[in-house]
Structure 1
Amino acid sequence: MKNNWKFTEVWIDPSHSPPYVLLLLCDSEDNCQIYDPAQGYKVVFSTNNYDEAKLYLLEDEFESVEGRVLAAEL
């Protein structure tokens, strides 16, 4: 994904201690990638549909951390 992201969300698996974290970044065209910080920010899932990315995370029992970080806020 180019450096043109629109927003990012933090998702956690609370069954781990500390919780396992994944980052979801999407651009203005709904191209989304999920990054794993524990694996050097490797892309673990990529799609052109936000709902598909969200379903991927929910199927693995990840929970969204409240709120988004918008690119305009940085």
Structure 2
Amino acid sequence: MGKVYLKIKNDWELTEVWIDPMLSPTYILLLFCDSEGNCQIYDPKQGDKVIFSSNSYEAAQLWLLEDEYEPVEGRLLAGELV
């Protein structure tokens, strides 16, 4: 698997990949949260556009779950993305 290069800020503490398994090919969204709990969801297919922002992980997670996205197992540290 190749490296992922993003045009977004690089001080995220938590990164998760979420998928919509009902679509083919699978649709992917990226969830990033900083140390203060601020989270943003990016859509790689829309040029890494922020499609949702919140001040808590729980709110971002709920937004994804309501749209029936599922988290990919495991987490990536920010340093693993570059």
TM-score bin, normalised by smaller chain: over 0.9
Consecutive unaligned residues in structure 2, runs of 5 or more: 1-7
Question: 1:53, CA displacement in angstroms?
Answer: 0.1
- Paired with 1:68 and 1:62, the residues of 2 have a C-alpha distance of 16
Q: When the two structures are aligned, how many residues end up with a matched partner? A: 74
Moved over 6 A (4+): none
Identity of aligned residues (%): 69
CA RMSD between the two structures: 1.5
Q: Is the 8 A contact 2:43 2:50 kept in 1?
A: yes
Comparing both structures, which one devotes a greater share of its residues to strand?
1
The answer (yes or no) to whether the contact 2:16–2:31 under 8 Å persists in 1 is yes
Show structure 1 runs of 5+ residues with no match. Answer: none
Among 31, 37, 42, which residue is 1:30 paired with? Answer: 37
Q: Give the 5 Å matches for 1:2-13.
A: 2-13=9-20
